[in-house]
Every structure is written in structure tokens, then in C-alpha cells.
Amino acid sequence: MKKKIVVTVGDPAGCGPFITLKAIDRFNKKAHFIVVADRVILERYSIFKKVSRKIELIDVKTPGINNLELGCPSYLGGRASINYLKIALKTIRKEKIQNLVTAPLSKEAVKMSLKNFSGHTEFLANYFKVRNVLMMMVDGNFRVVLATRHIPLRDVPSAITKRLMQNTLKLTHKSLKDIFHIRNPRIAVASLNPHAGVDTFLGKEELLVKDAIDTLPFKVYGPYPSDTLFLLYRRNKYDCVIACYHDQAMIPFKLLSFKKGVNVTLGLPIIRVSPAHGTAFDIVRERKIPSHYSMFSAFNIAEKLSL
């Protein structure tokens, strides 16, 4: 039986429409793709004629979409991309589908029509009325979870609390068992401060992390210095690393997995996967061919994972 995967193409002026079509064309596993987009945008790409036989298209018919300029963020592109997501979520609820893949959208473009929008993750959490959600970056067995997401670096230390770390570790442990089917997950935590700072003048946040770890009924390793932790991970020491802030996770992850890495949202009642890159407006604007590898990985992981 084919697994149904609902797909949104993200900002229609970005790389999303093309990488969606290209990744579906390359995909050779059994899956039923329900793509939410504007047909007139997809028809701009010659590959659509070939791929159209492999998808069920929900044509949104966004007013004025014919006038969209490719490679540029705009009110029209932002409004279209958030409507694709809303329609996809309605389809998921109506047909009881478990898998959603979202191509990149532009936060700046969406905020032109939806002022409080802060990203896919927060929008989905609000839609499903879920309080605790996490971004897990995935490339095969390489997994990194962000304890904090898109906040200024100066705000990270005050955001690292015992409760935050407890909730992060509990949800990560549960997801590794339930979604990735790892019987005894090995989770390591990266320190916020240099050299893990424990028992030094640097170590306030690390002591909070240790306090959180000590309350848990399962084994967690660390906090360890982040400048060596990822080396240990690559030697198959752990199943997942918890990073304290965005760039602590994304710099090593993108260095090692830029082309194939994806984002899996933990804590939702569905499986949601997205590429680990943005809209690539510059590449589209310069009429270069954007890489579809991360989108292809997103489809592979969405087809593989289950709740």
C-alpha cells in the first residue's frame, strides 16, 4: 500500500516548486504524493509534464499568481505559500494522513500578510495546539536537536532553564524510540560555554543542564564541550546531540550534511519533514538550477518514518 505524503511547494517564487517536481521525478519508492500548489507556477517548469502523472495536484488558483516574479520575496508569494500550508493541513485532517513535507517558504514574505508568523515549526505547533515541539536536523544516523531555535544569541543563556532541558530531553528520547525505533537512545548534550564550564565561573548553564539530566529516568551524556562532541558523534558514540542554540547545531550539521540534511519536527501528531535550506531566491533569480537533494531526502525520510 502506498503511503500518502502531502507536499507544499513553499514560496512559489523560490526553489520549492522545482525541487518538489525534481525530487518526485527521482523518487522510486511507493508513495502517493498530494501536492498543494498553483498549476500555472508548476507549468513554468518543463519537468511538470512528466511528473504530473505521478502526483495528485491540489490547484490553489491563487488570484494574480501569473504576475509573480520568480526569485523575489513578495506579498503575493508569502500569501500563496501560507495558503498552501493551510490547505495541506485541512487535507491531512480530512483524509487522516500522517505525512507532510514542506518546501521552503520566506518568513519575511509571509509576514507581509501574517504579521505574527515566525516559521513553519511555530505555525504547525499552534495549528495542532502542541506546546512542546523541537527541530531535529537529520541526515541518516546523524541527528541534532535544537534546544532553542530562532532567538538572538544574547537571549540564549536566560532561555536555558531546567524545565526547558527536561522537556527537550524527554521529547527527544520519546521521539527516538517511537519514530526512529531506537530501543535505547544515546543522547548527548552540548555545553553552552567553552570547555563545558562545569565547576568554573562559566558553568551556570551547564549546572542547570546537569540538574535536568539528574531528574530523568533514562541515561543522558554530558554536557560536553561542543568543539569535540560532534567528532565523538561521527565515531558512532551517540544517536542524537542536543545543541543549546541555533548555530551550535546548524554550523556542524550544514558542514557535514548540507546537500542531504532535513528538518524533522518532533512533538506533532504527524510526521513533518522539510529540506534544511531556504528559498534560494538568489539561485532562482540567476536562473541557476537549485539542488533537489535535500527535498529528495525529505521524501525518503517521510516515507520511512511512522508514528
Range of the domain at 77: 1-130+268-307
pLDDT mean by block of 10 residues, the chain; 307 residues: 94 98 94 97 96 96 95 96 98 97 97 93 96 95 94 94 97 97 95 74 80 95 90 82 96 89 97 96 95 96 89
Q: Are 137 and 251 found together in one domain? A: yes
In this structure, the answer to whether residues 219 and 260 fall within a common structural domain is yes
Going along 150-258, which residue ranges are E strands? 187-190, 220-224, 240-243
pLDDT recorded at residue 236: 79
* Per-residue pLDDT, 72: 94
Instruction: Report pLDDT for 58.
Output: 98
DSSP state of 149: -
Verify that 152 and 198 share a domain, yes or no: yes
Rounded distance between C-alpha atoms, residue 65 and residue 69, angstroms: 9
For 185, the 3-state DSSP assignment is coil
Residues 278 and 289 both lie in one domain: yes
Q: Please tell me the distance from the alpha carbon of residue 162 to that of residue 19, in angstroms, as a whole number.
A: 40
C-alpha cell at 185: 537512545
Neighbour-count burial of 236, counting CB atoms closer than 10 A to its CB (0-12 exposed, 13-18 middle, 19+ buried)? exposed
**Is the domain of 142 the same as that of 88?**
no
Domain check: are 114 and 13 in the same one? Answer: yes
- Verify that 92 and 142 share a domain, yes or no: no
Q: Which of 266, 284, 299 is the last residue of a domain?
A: 266
Q: Tell me, yes or no, whether 141 and 16 share the same domain.
A: no
Q: Compute CA distances 20 → 39, 104, 112, 129, whole Å.
A: 13, 10, 25, 28
Res 202: pLDDT: 55
Same domain membership, residue 262 and residue 136: yes
- Least Cα distance to 167 among 200, 206, 134 occurs for 134
Alpha carbon 31 to its chain centroid, in Å, reads 20
- Domain shared by 158 and 252, yes or no: yes
Scanning 96-203, the segments in alpha helix (DSSP H) are 107-110, 120-127, 156-159, 162-178
Per the structure, the count of domains in the chain is: 2
Instruction: Note whether 36 and 60 are within 8 A (CB).
Output: yes
CATH number at residue 258: 3.40.718.10
Q: Which three cell numbers stand for residue 181?
A: 525505533
Do 118 and 214 lie in one domain? The reply is no
What pLDDT score does 63 carry? 96
Query: Across 192-301, where does the E strand assignment appear?
Result: 220-224, 240-243, 262-266, 271-275
Instruction: Fill in the amino acid letter for 19.
Output: I
pLDDT score at 197? 62
* 3 state SS of 256: helix
Residues 18 and 123 in one domain: yes
